[in-house]
Amino acid sequence: MAEEAVLGYLKNNDEIKDSGDFAAERGIDHNEIVNVIKSLHGFRYVDAQDIKRETWVLTDEGNTYATLGSPEIQLMLAIPPEGISRDELQAEKVEHVEDRVKDLLLQIQQGQVIGADDIKALKARKLIVPQTWKGYSVKKGPNYAPKRKKVVTDLTRENFQSGEWKEIEFKEYNYSAKGQPLEGGSLHPLFWNFDSLFQPQQHPARDSHDTFFLETPSTTKKLPEDYVQRVKQIHEFGGYESRGYAYDWKREEANKNLLRTHTTAVSSRMLYQLAQKPFAPKKYFSIDRVFRNEAVDRTHLAEFHQIEGLVCDQGLSLRDLIGVLHDFFSRLGMTKLKFKPAYNPYTEPSMEIFSYHEGFKKWVEVGNSGMFRPEMLRPMGLPEDVQVIAWGLSLERPTMIMYGIDNIRDLFGHKVDLGLIKKNSICRLGIE
Ligand code: PHE
């Protein structure tokens, strides 16, 4: 109704001079008119100019007197010439009194203008206070129409079928509208262990199966030549009580750059470096990304992370390895472990590690381990009496067990479950 009044009036008139008067004349609430003007102005149906006026409004006390009459007049008129007792006076009901204060207050209440002296007197008695009145003067805007057009946000099949689409006016994009608030800020359980530590994500290393090879640069240029020769020797002819593989070892194959398929590439480089100095016992650990050319399913990804560790010392045995793995996994809350004999070209003996997944209700492989073979260690130059126990664990699988996640793709990769990350606590303190 207010909108029709404004648009309708402007159809035949140039201007609404004062929204206050306009509202009063039509008996419409001024606030309602103001809201309509603001909205019409936003869509440029009208141009609106601010008007400000200093006005007076009644205080609570002023309002009381405007309703009940001023106290002094009531008292004065209630006292007859001969006097009256207080009890009688209180019982008296005054009628037909002329109460100027009350009248003035009523006039102000209705927005009428009263004389400056009266204003001063009422203000001194704190019956009125000043207030800035805000309104508008309004003219037609560039988009003026006697009726607001309905703007459409979506084009529907019905619009096409009925031919309506020709007339439809579309709502304009509001480029300054605020976007949805961001809900990010929680930590991904893996990135806490990895990206936040600024670990590099790629290192070329070597493997033969299921591997992503690099196209540029396709080969490596720098290898320690004497070590390369000892490696060739052990592959082709053996040594250190090994018979070797008895085949033609090819340098070109060894030179190929690839995305590492396991963090054991890191261990081997570190052990080689260690072997260049006089021997000292060492422990090495790495957490890093590895790449395998695999079919992706609920427990396999082509890119994942491994946690690798090794202890290098004299007199180590398989018992030490089993002990370390038990300790490591039980601190992650995984006490149900099984070890299974396995085969790796670089370890003997080798053991696969399984942990019981409560969700899957089955044993899940979480890692692989073993004692590095002399065929690996001796060409590096490590002393004969030195053993290396080592393990390479998936980071994702134990994480799945720990957090009860049954699809690895929810945890890492392009299908990662953002909801899961958002719901996650910002950090996790200690695991009993
Ligand atoms: N490289 C092995 C894997 O990726 C793990 C491993 C590391 C095994 C060290 C033995 C010793 O599964």
State the distance from the centre of ligand 1 to the C-alpha of 95, rounded, in angstroms.
Answer: 106
Residue 370 beta carbon below 6 angstroms from any ligand 1 atom:
yes
pLDDT digits (tens, 9 = 90+) for 340-380: 999 888 889 999 999 988 777 889 888 999 999 898 999 89
Residue 384, pLDDT above cutoff 80 = yes
ipTM for the complex? 0.96
CATH number of 195-220+256-423: 3.30.930.10
Rounded Cα distance between 197 and 349, Å, is 33
With cut-offs at 50, 70 and 90, classify the pLDDT of residue 93. low
For the domain made up of 2-170, the CATH class stated in words is alpha beta
CB atoms within 10 A of CB 322: 16
15-16: strand order across its sheet: 15-16, 128-140, 46-58
Mutate to test the pocket of ligand 1, among 344, 377, 393 (most ligand atoms within 8 A of CB): 344
Whose C-alpha lies nearest to ligand 1, atom 9? 391
- Amino acid symbol at 7: L
Atom of ligand 1 nearest to the CA of 369: 10
Highest mean pLDDT, choosing among 80-94, 158-172, 406-420: 158-172
Span(s) in the chain for CATH 3.30.1370.240: 2-170
Q: What is the CA radius of gyration of the chain?
A: 44
CA distance to 34, 119, 144, per residue, from 41 (Å) = 10, 36, 10
The atom of ligand 1 lying closest to the CA of 306 is 4
User: Nearest Cα to 151, choosing from 127, 131, 173, 179?
Assistant: 173
The segment(s) of the chain belonging to CATH 3.30.930.10 are 195-220+256-423
Q: What is the tens place of the pLDDT at every residue in 235-253?
A: 889 898 888 888 888 888 7
